[in-house]
Each structure stands twice: as structure tokens, then as C-alpha cells.
Amino acid sequence: MDFGFDPSQYQPSENNFSPLPRGEYPVLITGARMEDNQKRTGKLCIVELQVTDGQFKGRKLWHNMNIWHQSEQAQEIGRKELSGLLQAIGKPNSRNMAELQNTVCLAQVTLKDGKNEIWGYAPIPGALAQQANQQPRQHQYSGSPGGMADQRQYRDEAFRAQANATG
């Protein structure tokens, strides 16, 4: 079937898929799903994020977290990443991926091998109260040893070290 117009008469849209610069970005979680990993030896939680403000508003990021994996270390890292995300959105005890939808937080983004990588999450000041008014919450975050504060400190130190190493 014919398009009904001459596509050569239009300039292609400018889609910029280059990586975002290192930094902290406010994001909206627009999707979350579980999928088999590439080798079908485990499960990934794949979270889709959209930058909500600033120069890169509208840009998409994805974070793949190993929730089930034959490597205990990979599985532990993935579960800690998911825990950090859940704490950042104010739902630390959630067990349902649907609760991730349409929540906001800050994503700490870095570059690795020319691609964006998410190093951690933090709450957006005031956003947790707004989200709480929109959706019922059963649990309050009380902070715990080994929780987000410790994980964030570790990730912040690693983020600074990488930034200093790469200029």
C-alpha cells in the first residue's frame, strides 16, 4: 500500500539516543516487567524510566536488575538495587511490580563503556508525600542499617571515584 505522500520531502525527526551525561535526574517509572535473562538462567526486573525535568526531559532510561540468577553475587546486587529503588519511591516493603508504575524518584546515572548505567536512586524531596496522597501505603520507611543510606553512601563514593578517574 502506498504511503500517500513523498517521504523525501520531509526532514527526518531528530532522535538523540546518545547517552545522558553523568548526573542525578528526576525520573518517572513508566514501566516494570519481569523477563528471562539472555541465557534463560534467571529473571530480570526491567524498569523503564523517563526523565521528567531539565534539558533531557522526555529521555528514556532502562535498568535491568538480576532478581533471580545462578550467581549469588549477581542476584544479591540486583536485589539490593531493587530495594534501593523501592525505598526511593517510599514503598520499601512492596512485593508487586505494579506498585512501581507512575512513581517518581531521582536516578543517579553514570557512563560505562559509552552507555548509561543507573548507580542508585533517592527520593525526590516532597515527592513521597505527594505519592502517598495518590496511592495508599501500608508501611512507612524507617531507615535501617544496610538499607538505602548505606547503599547510597557506597554508590555515591563509587560515583565520585569514577567521576574523578574519568575527569
Cβ-in-10-Å burial (0-12, 13-18, 19+) of 46 comes to: middle
Q: Strand pairing of 43-51 and 23-36?
A: antiparallel
Domain for residue 123, yes or no?
yes
- CA distance from start to end of the chain: 53
The structural domain count of the chain equals 1
Question: Which domain, by its residues, includes 43?
Answer: 20-166
Q: What is the pLDDT of residue 13?
A: 65
Average of pLDDT values for 34-51?
A: 95
At residue 145 the predicted structure's pLDDT band, cuts being 50, 70 and 90, is very low
Average of pLDDT values for 53-67?
A: 95
Q: What percent of the chain stands above pLDDT 90?
A: 63
What Cα–Cα distance (Å) separates residue 117 from each residue in 48, 51, 126, 142, 146?
Answer: 13, 14, 26, 28, 22
Domain for residue 108, yes or no?
yes
At residue 57 the predicted structure's pLDDT band, cuts being 50, 70 and 90, is very high
What Cα–Cα distance (Å) separates residue 2 from each residue in 7, 10, 131?
Answer: 11, 16, 47
How confident is the model over 72-123, as pLDDT tens digits?
999 999 999 999 999 999 999 999 999 999 999 999 999 999 999 999 999 9
At residue 3 the predicted structure's pLDDT band, cuts being 50, 70 and 90, is confident
**Max avg pLDDT among 6-20, 29-43, 142-156:** 29-43
Domain for residue 2, yes or no?
no
